[in-house]
A and B are shown apart, each in its own frame.
Chain A
Amino acid sequence: AQKVTQAQTEISVVEKEDVTLDCVYETRDTTYYLFWYKQPPSGELVFLIRRNSFDEQNEISGRYSWNFQKSTSSFNFTITASQVVDSAVYFCALSEGQSNTGKLIFGQGTTLQVKP
C-alpha cells in the first residue's frame, strides 16, 4: 500500500534559521514521483518540486533544497535562511507511475511558522 508520512505536525523557527521538513513514503512501485507543495493561508496548493524515482540527485532552488534517498524512502525538504513569507503548510505527496492515474497521495502536512 502506498503511504506518505510527515511526522512533524508543526515547526516553529525564528527568521533566518534553517529548517528541514521530513517526508517518508511507502510504495511497491519501482516507478513513482514525489512532490512537495506549499499551502499558504489563502488555501491554494503551490507546486514546489517533482522528482521521479530514477533521479536521486539532490536539487537546490534558491533557498530551497531537497534530499531524496531511496535507501531510506525519504524525500526531505530544507529551507535555508527562512523568512516570514515561508510560513505555510507544506505537503509531501506520492504518485505511482505504474497505475498511470496520476493521482497524488498526500502526507498529513507540516505547518511551518517563521517568526520575525
Chain B
Amino acid sequence: DTGVSQDPRHKITKRGQNVTFRCDPISEHNRLYWYRQTLGQGPEFLTYFQNEAQLEKSRLLSDRFSAERPKGSFSTLEIQRTEQGDSAMYLCASSPPPQEGYGYTFGSGTRLTVV
C-alpha cells in the first residue's frame, strides 16, 4: 500500500467552474477525512466518512461543496461554481477505527487556484 493518494496535485480553474478532487485512502482504513488549508493557516476540518456514510460536515462546507465516498473506498470532493476564496490546499486523510488507535495518514493534497 502506497499510503493516501490524492489527484490531481494541482488544479487551476476559472471562477465559476466546477472542480472535482479524488482521494484514495489506505485500503484497510474505514475512516476518511477532508481538510482545507489556506496559506499561513493550519488545516481545517471539512467532513468525514466512516465507510460510505458521511457522519459530520463542518459549517465551512457550503452548499457548493459536496463529498461522496461510494462503496466506502475512494472519495471525491466537488466544488461547484468556484470562487476565489476557494483557493486552498485540500487535504485528505484516512485512519483505522478508533479502537485500533488514531493512525492518521495524510495525502499530499490538491492545491486549488481559482483565477
Contact = CB atoms under 8 A, between A and B. Distances in A.
Interface string A27-63: 0000001010100001111010010000000000000
Interface string B44-77: 1100100000011000000000000000000000
B42 to A, nearest CB: 3
Contacts of A102: 31, 33, 48, 95, 98, 102, 104
Contacts of B43: 45, 91, 104, 106
Contacts of A87: none
A19 interface: no
B2 interface: no
A44 B104 contact: no
Contacts of A37: 106
Interface residue tally of chain A, by bracket?
20 to 34
A43 B41 contact: no
B106 A45 contact: yes
B46 to A, nearest CB: 9
B56 A93 contact: no
Interface in B88-115: 89, 91, 93, 95, 98, 101-102, 104-109, 111
Contacts of A50: 101-102
Given A101-B48, A101-B56, A107 B42 contact: yes
Task: Among A93, A104, A108, find the residue whose CB has the most chain B CB atoms closer than 10 A.
Answer: A104
26 contacts: A33-B102, A35-B104, A37-B106, A42-B108, A43-B108, A43-B109, A43-B111, A44-B106, A44-B107, A44-B109, A45-B43, A47-B106, A50-B102, A100-B98, A101-B48, A101-B55, A102-B95, A103-B56, A104-B35, A104-B104, A106-B43, A106-B44, A107-B42, A108-B42, A109-B40, A109-B41
Closest 10 CB pairs of A and B: A106-B42, A45-B106, A44-B108, A103-B45, A106-B43, A109-B42, A91-B42, A43-B109, A108-B42, A107-B42
